[in-house]
Structure formats: structure tokens, C-alpha cells
Structure 1
Amino acid sequence: MDPNSNVATKTSLQNLIERIGSEHVERRLKIEVEHEAQLFGQGLILFNLENWYSAPWIIRTALKLTGLYGRARRNADHVVVKKHSVAFANLPPAFDNFTILHITDLHADISAGAMRHLISVVGGLQYDICVLTGDYRGKTYGPFKKSLEIIYELQTQLKGPIYGVLGNHDSIRMVPSMEAMGICVLFNECEPIVRGGQRIFLAGVDDPHFYRVDDIEKAASQIPSDAFSILLAHTPEVYGPAMSARFNFMLCGHTHGGQLCLPGGIPIKLEAAMPRFMGAGPWRHGAMVGYTSVGAGTGILPVRLNCPPEIVLHTLHAMGSSADGLSTPQGAL
């Protein structure tokens, strides 16, 4: 990055610097410049497969040799809409039937077919807020203009408030454009959501996987101890600190559910340091409920096997309503 580019970047990020502090912004920019294409080390796993230049060729060749490439390409383009209902004892009654549209892992510039299908579907959905849990760009480095153009097209079809966090594929330089679209990007921050005179809290942390700039304690610090709270994080890998901070519900992505799975949705590999049962769908850790979406887009190549891309409608219920208890996803629309 030349000096003129650096000045332009800092100018475009000035509002963010004033909001979250220059230390956070400069730390993330430094990692983006020096380490974003790193293959070994940096982050929570030793080997970053998606940054290995041979990975696309190896995966494509293996799928073609097994006769599965055409099927895997078609699967990657058909995004399904899943429904997930969950009840909580401390959910304020005003938020009974509150619905959250959860979209993650767009990898928009390398998932063209999935993005076309997604944009055609979301306009007809009913929900109260939309949340985005990161990985808007295809690669972990390089240009992001095309991804921003697709995100703009997508957000024109979305309704209501839109909140998001960044993932390990995202540059902080994308944020001014995203916020200009009306997407509130949370950096270890929380926002109250008010309904019927009652409120819940929505918090979001910066990427915990590669950049490791998450601060769950800071995000939770302004949330009353008895309040219902939701955490947005790119990856489920921070499930422990999230539970310790007394979050009730955690929404995340990153894993792609394995993307290429054995029959029954059994992932061959999960690019994350966590228990495998947290790799896709609903899960619990102590008193906290979590949901790991397999994502709408794809990494490395636009291919999927036994793991269809998804967006999720999460409907919250107050305990004692007709939807008591944690449910499994109710299927695709």
C-alpha cells in the first residue's frame, strides 16, 4: 500500500476511527497489509487452506475425477431458506415471535449463481431485523469492489434494520461503503433493540478467527446483567467467552458446514478450532443457545456436496409460548 493510498484509507475510515478508536483500526489494517494472504500461522488454526494457491485445482480435479463436479456446482447455486424456532425464559414478552434473518458467508464475488438466487428470494421474506455475520469477499485478500456491488444489490431487497460484523475474509476498508448502504457494522459494540416499550441487546464482535480483534467483554459491558442478549460473531470458535459473558443466543457462520460433506451432512473438514457439533445448525453450550449457519456462498470454489447453502429465519419465543425449547431447523422453503 503506497503512502497516498494509506492517507485515503484513513480519511475514509475517519468516522470509524472516532467511534472505535485508532488503535483497533490501525491494528486491523496492519494485519491486512502484512498477513492477510498468509498460509501458515496467524489466527486460530495452523494452516489456512483457502490461501493455498493449489487448493482450487486440487478440489476441482478431485470432483471431476469422481464425477461429482457438475452436481457440486449446481448445489452451490441453490440457496435454501431455513426456519429455526427457539424459546428463552428471559425473553421480554414484547419480543415473542421476533424474527431475525441471518445471512452469512456470502463470498459474493466467487458465488455468482448463489448471489443471483439469494437476491431473487430475500425480497419476499418476513422478519424484524437482518443480521450479517461476515465473509463478504471471496478471497482473504485483494479487491472487494465487486463484492460491495453485490452487497448493495442485496441490501436493496432487504427490509428493516441491518446489522453486521466482519469475518476473516473482510477488509475494514469495506466498512464505510457498507455503512453508507445502511448496514450497521458492529466492532465489539452493542445496540439496544426496542419493541413494545421493552428491549433486548444485540452485540457484535470483530473477526475472532484470523484477525483476532474480538473483545466480547467490551461488547457485553453495556448490557444489563438481567437483559436478553444476542451475540453476532463470524465464527463459533468464541463460544466459551460468549457463554461466560452471559449471552443468551449466538449467531455465527464461517464453517460452511464443511461445504463438501459425506452423505448425511458429515463434514470432511471444518476450518475451525471447536467441537464438531458446532459446525452447522443449532447447538447449546451451557445456558447459551447457538446457531452456526452453513452460509449462502462458498469458499475456494463454488461447489457444495450434501451441504446446501442457506439463509436462516430465527424466530424467538418467550418461554411458555407454543414453541418452548430448542428446535431443529424446520426445513427449506
Structure 2
Amino acid sequence: MDEDILAALEQRLGRLHARQRLGIETDHEAQIFGQGLTFFHLENWYPGQSLIRTALKLTGLYWRARRNAGRVVVRSNDVAFKDLPARFDGFTILHLSDLHVDMSEAAMQRVCELVGELSYDLCVLTGDYRGKTFGSFEAALDGVARVRSHLKGPIYGVLGNHDTIRMVPALEAMDIRMLLNECELIARDDQCIFLAGVDDAHFYRMDNIEKAAMRIPDGAFSILLSHTPEIYRQAAHAHFNLMLSGHTHGGQICLPGSIPITLESALPRRMGAGAWRYNNMTGYTSVGAGSSVVAVRLNCPPEITLHCLRRGG
């Protein structure tokens, strides 16, 4: 463990949080069974890559699926809220998730091309920056830096289940404000909204919504960033207006009609991709810009998303 990284994390998060997160990572990284919100973790099962490639090759779909992984599209999601402050009518959020930057060069090149042409007020990253769930992360940081150079600030992010807390100092050195069970106030003139983010809730279970929401006044408009949407119940009952997530990849390999074969998540299928609603909270699950396990996509194009907040509804 690099002592400089440890010192930076302890200064940033406090000694207890930093050492607790690092200890949990050491105990559980690369674990296949029995940790997190789901029992089986395909991304940590080594034969999984070969089985997926072989199955796709036998069906003749492998090379098509490989090409699809690089064909990132821009999706628009307009959402209306009666409680949105008037100054934020038309406020636009660029949402990137599940970049897995070291998995598909073609996908990241396309992301860089697309984001440079977009207009938005704020950018959010909802986790999973590297391809593997363990090991070195320098290549992932290099890839994120490349994407970051094409983005406009301000930029906020959270960690995913593929990410180590040791990446945080380097990500923040890129001027990406990481929200680790924390909240930021976003102001426009005399009005504001609140943007909160939680640490990974899927594998490491380090999320703390209560801590993230502690500074949000009753009745204030608030947005939650969480890598996984699996904590939608907790988020809704904490009175967040909007929750932005990723993690599911929309299934990544889907049947015609974008029907996922599996979501690898403890989640209702209607929440596995795109816009959804639970109680009084609106949600959006990005299918991600990158690919997990194998850089392939079928009937589930990779995406980046522009969310436009509207007053009304």
C-alpha cells in the first residue's frame, strides 16, 4: 500500500473510514460468492470471459457484439418536478456510468468524441472506472484522465464495485469531486439544489445514505448518485427527488427488444435500464458507456445520457 495514498485518504476521509474501506477491500476483492447484494459475482469468475466468448462465437454473433461495444449513443431524458427551484428549470446533467475505460478502446474514443459536442451544466460519473475488480488501477486512471480532458466542469463522481478507494486521490487531482457518503450544494443565483453521493452499495456495502443526506434541509430538492440502483427503497424514503445510477449495463447481452438475459442485480427488471419511478422518487439507470467482463454488446447499445430538469409535473 502506497503510504502517500494512505495519508491522502486518511486526510480526506478520516482514519477510520479510510482504513475500514481498505480492510474490506483486502478481505473481499475478487470474491465470487457470498459478498454484497447478490450471491454470485460473474465479473470475478475467471472462466466467465471464455464461456461468453465461446458462446457468442458458436452463434456467429461475437464480432458483431464486439463492434456494438464501441457504438456509444447519446440518450436524452427530460424529467419534470413540481418542487424544482425555478432557476434550475432547464438544468442539464451529463451522466456517464460504467466506463470500464481499460476494456474497450473504441468505446472510450467514441465517448471522447461525443462529449466534446454536448452542452450541459454539470457532469456526474456513477462508478466502475476500471475493468477488473482487483489488481492495478493505473491504466484505468490513465483512461479516466483521457475522458476527463474532454469534459467540462463541474464534475462529481461516486465509486462502483469495480473501484478501489485508492483511486480517489488521483481522481480528485483530475478535479473530479468524489462524493463518498457526502453532499454538495449546487447554487444558481439565490436558489440551490443538493447533490449527494454514496460509496459502493453493491459489493463493499460502504453506502451511508443517512450521512450523505445529513446536510439536506427538509423540502429541499435533492439528487442522489449511487453506482447501483439496488438501494432505491432507502433513497426514496430518504426523500430524494432523483436518483442516478448505473451498474446493470442493461443486461449488456440482451434478447431482441432489449430484454436482458440477466441483470446481475437484486432489482426489479423495470429498473434495470432507463427511466423509472418508485413512490415519489424518479430514477434513471444508465446501461453504461463501457462493457464488463467481455467488451461485447447485443441489443443493448452503450450510452451516455443528458438529463434535463424541468419545472412542472
Report the TM-score, using the length of structure 2 for normalisation.
0.98
* Structure 1 consecutive aligned stretches of length 4 or more whose deviation exceeds 4 Å: none
Give the superposition deviation at 1:72. 0.4
1:26 aligns with 2:5: no
Rounded to whole Å, the distance in 1 between the matches of 2:7 and 2:154 is 23
1:37 aligns with 2:30: yes
Please give the residue correspondences for 1:69-148 in structure 2 after superposition, counting only pairs within 5 Å: 69-148=62-141
Rounded to whole Å, the distance in 2 between the matches of 1:18 and 1:150 is 26
Give the superposition deviation at 1:110. 1.0
Once the two structures are superposed, what CA deviation does each residue of 1:251-304 show, in whole Å capped at 9, x if it has no partner? Answer: 000000000000000000011111111100000000000000000000011000
Rounded to whole Å, the distance in 2 between the matches of 1:128 and 1:15 is 29
Rounded to whole Å, the distance in 2 between the matches of 1:156 and 1:63 is 35
Query: Which residue does the alignment assign to 1:196?
Result: 189
Matched to 1:73, the amino acid is R
Query: Which residue does the alignment assign to 1:263?
Result: 256
Once the two structures are superposed, what CA deviation does each residue of 1:10-55 show, in whole Å capped at 9, x if it has no partner? Answer: x324344234322221121112222110011111111111111100
- SS of 1:110 mapped into structure 2: coil
Question: Of the candidates 39, 42, 51, which is equivalent to residue 49 of structure 1?
Answer: 42
Percent identity, aligned pairs only? 62
Question: Of the candidates 258, 268, 277, which is equivalent to residue 270 of structure 2?
Answer: 277
- SS of 2:270 mapped into structure 1: helix
Give the superposition deviation at 1:142. 1.0
Structure 1: give runs of 5+ residues left out of the alignment. 1-5, 325-333
- SS of 1:137 mapped into structure 2: coil
Rounded to whole Å, the distance in 1 between the matches of 2:127 and 2:187 is 24
Query: Which residue does the alignment assign to 1:166?
Result: 159
Matched to 1:177, the amino acid is A
Matched to 2:119, the amino acid is Q
- The two structures, once aligned, show a CA RMSD in angstroms of 0.9
Query: Which residue does the alignment assign to 1:184?
Result: 177
- SS of 1:152 mapped into structure 2: helix
Rounded to whole Å, the distance in 2 between the matches of 1:144 and 1:130 is 22
Query: Which residue does the alignment assign to 1:59?
Result: 52
Rounded to whole Å, the distance in 1 between the matches of 2:7 and 2:243 is 30
Query: Which residue does the alignment assign to 1:252?
Result: 245
Range moving further from structure 2, 237-246 or 113-122:
113-122
Rounded to whole Å, the distance in 2 between the matches of 1:216 and 1:14 is 26
- SS of 2:16 mapped into structure 1: helix
Matched to 1:111, the amino acid is S
- SS of 1:109 mapped into structure 2: coil
Please give the residue correspondences for 1:292-311 in structure 2 after superposition, counting only pairs within 5 Å: 292-311=285-304
Matched to 1:204, the amino acid is G
- SS of 1:192 mapped into structure 2: strand
Report the TM-score, using the length of structure 1 for normalisation.
0.92
Matched to 1:231, the amino acid is L
Q: In 2, are the aligned partners of 1:194 and 1:200 still within 8 Å (CA)?
A: yes
Query: Which residue does the alignment assign to 2:145?
Result: 152
- SS of 1:108 mapped into structure 2: coil
Q: In 1, are the aligned partners of 2:9 and 2:166 still within 8 Å (CA)?
A: no
Matched to 1:221, the amino acid is M
Rounded to whole Å, the distance in 1 between the matches of 2:12 and 2:135 is 26
Structure 2: give runs of 5+ residues left out of the alignment. none
- SS of 1:27 mapped into structure 2: helix
